[in-house]
Amino acid sequence: MGEFTLDLNEDQKQVRDWLHGFAADVIRPAAAEWDEREETPWPIIQEAAKLGIYSLDFYAQQFFDPTGLGIPMAMEELFWGDAGIALSIVGTGLAAVGVLANGTEEQIGTWVPQMYGDATDVKVAAFCSSEPDAGSDVASMRTRAVYDEAKDEWVLNGTKTWATNGGIANVHVVVAVVDAELGSKGHASFIVPPNTPGLSQGQKFQKHGIRASHTAEVVLEDVRVPGSCLLGGKDKLDERLARAREKARTGGERVKNAAMATFEASRPAVGAMAVGTARAAYEVALDYAKTRVQFGRPIIENQGVAFQLADMATRIDAARLLVWRASWMATAGKPFTNAEGSMSKLYASEVAKSVTAQAIQILGGNGYTREYPVERMHRDAAIYTIFEGTSEIQRMVISRALAR
């Protein structure tokens, strides 16, 4: 039994400082420009690829950090730089996790490298689950995948929406219904390889924040993919569907949906992104409060300002501790009995929204302009209470866990 510690070890500190340097020197200076352009910052993704920050190896290393803190630490630093650019850098990871969680070794080896490309030719990937009529209510998904046995191909039809990197991705991971009677238990995930006919980008959304990250509809019209693109393979799917049908018939114990369990595990990472944005805005506000003079003294000398900063710092640390606890639990294989993953995402995302709003207030008129970064950080922060399950959905998950 090791001694209890919240200290980062030397390796972790080194990685943190290296990422912080990249966030401060490369991401932060480019943030305003890519926010205005509302375009994927390809040159910055490429720079990250050159340094090894945009690669499967890097994420795998952080993921396998035995303390569980590798991923949240990396997310916090990159999102401290800028949320839109950082999401462009880590968005591929969402699709990669979809393959790592459900794919065979062969599928992982074939598709994940194609998601990233290499430093001379970077690629991105998209994870497409949400639909116009299936956001929080994933079970009402309509995109269908039908098996064409004669050709050993799956045929996908439907419209996905809100897909990060949708339509510009080299590889799309698409969740589709294979058995409509089983609700979310009748879903399966498919790889759509590069340049597959029938997949096209629909509307690209103009957003409130994280504008450097591409978000779009993905339209699937008779998209044919080989049988080998069904993640996990057909035997495993048939076995899983048979089990779900049996449970539905006999009314057996509720089986936890695998996709939902994956989401629950990935939520601390979103919490860590929110901590990064909150910390960034807090630091700008603290610095400003120390230097802005009104009534003959720095504004931080007013308790009304200083107490706001005290609350901001305290809530950011509390959010980080919830994120670290959940990440440690996930790595240690401890079940989220009280939905601790959701707790961390709920709290950190709400903290990011309110701390960035307080930062605008502390900067006064300057906070409201694009001369200072806090208005952008506030726009960016609004995403955290929406994607990967809204705050209301997190409260549903937590309260259900408590009521069990």
Ligand X SMILES: Cc1cc2nc3c(=O)[nH]c(=O)nc-3n(C[C@H](O)[C@H](O)[C@H](O)COP(=O)(O)OP(=O)(O)OC[C@H]3O[C@@H](n4cnc5c(N)ncnc54)[C@H](O)[C@@H]3O)c2cc1C
- Interacting residues with ligand X (CB under 6 A): 94, 127-130, 135-136, 162-164, 207, 210, 215, 383, 386-387, 390, 392-393, 396
HSE of 201, CA atoms in CB hemisphere, 13 A: 18
Which SS3 state, helix, strand or coil, does residue 315 take? helix
Q: Who contacts 121 (Cβ-Cβ below 8 Å, separation ≥6)? A: none
Tell me the residue nearest to ligand X as measured from the CB: 135
Strand partners, 328: none
Instruction: Tell me which amino acid residue 145 is.
Output: A
Angle formed by the axes of helices 28-37 and 374-381, nearest 10°: 70
**Distance in Å, CB of 171 to ligand X, minimum:** 13
Nearer to ligand X, 260 or 293 (CB): 260
DSSP class of residue 212 equals T
Compute the distance between CA of residue 172 and CA of residue 219 in angstroms, rounded to an integer: 12
Nearer to ligand X, 160 or 320 (CB): 160
**Distance in Å, CB of 396 to ligand X, minimum:** 6
Nearer to ligand X, 341 or 367 (CB): 341
Q: Who contacts 66 (Cβ-Cβ below 8 Å, separation ≥6)? A: 331
Angle at 274 between CA 135 and CA 22, to 5 degrees: 120
Q: Answer yes or no: 388 catalytic.
A: yes
Q: Is the dihedral of CA 195, 199, 202, 204 positive or negative?
A: negative
**Distance in Å, CB of 173 to ligand X, minimum:** 9
Are 145 and 178 contacting, i.e. CB atoms less than 8 angstroms apart? Answer: yes
Q: Who contacts 19 (Cβ-Cβ below 8 Å, separation ≥6)? A: 53, 73, 74, 77, 78
Nearer to ligand X, 66 or 132 (CB): 132
- Which residue is catalytic, options 264, 350, 375, 388? 388
Compute the distance between CA of residue 200 and CA of residue 217 in angstroms, rounded to an integer: 9
Q: Where are the alpha helices (DSSP H) in 192-302?
A: 234-250, 258-291
Nearer to ligand X, 12 or 391 (CB): 391
**Distance in Å, CB of 221 to ligand X, minimum:** 19
Instruction: Tell me which amino acid residue 92 is.
Output: T
Nearer to ligand X, 313 or 386 (CB): 386
Residues recognised as catalytic: 388
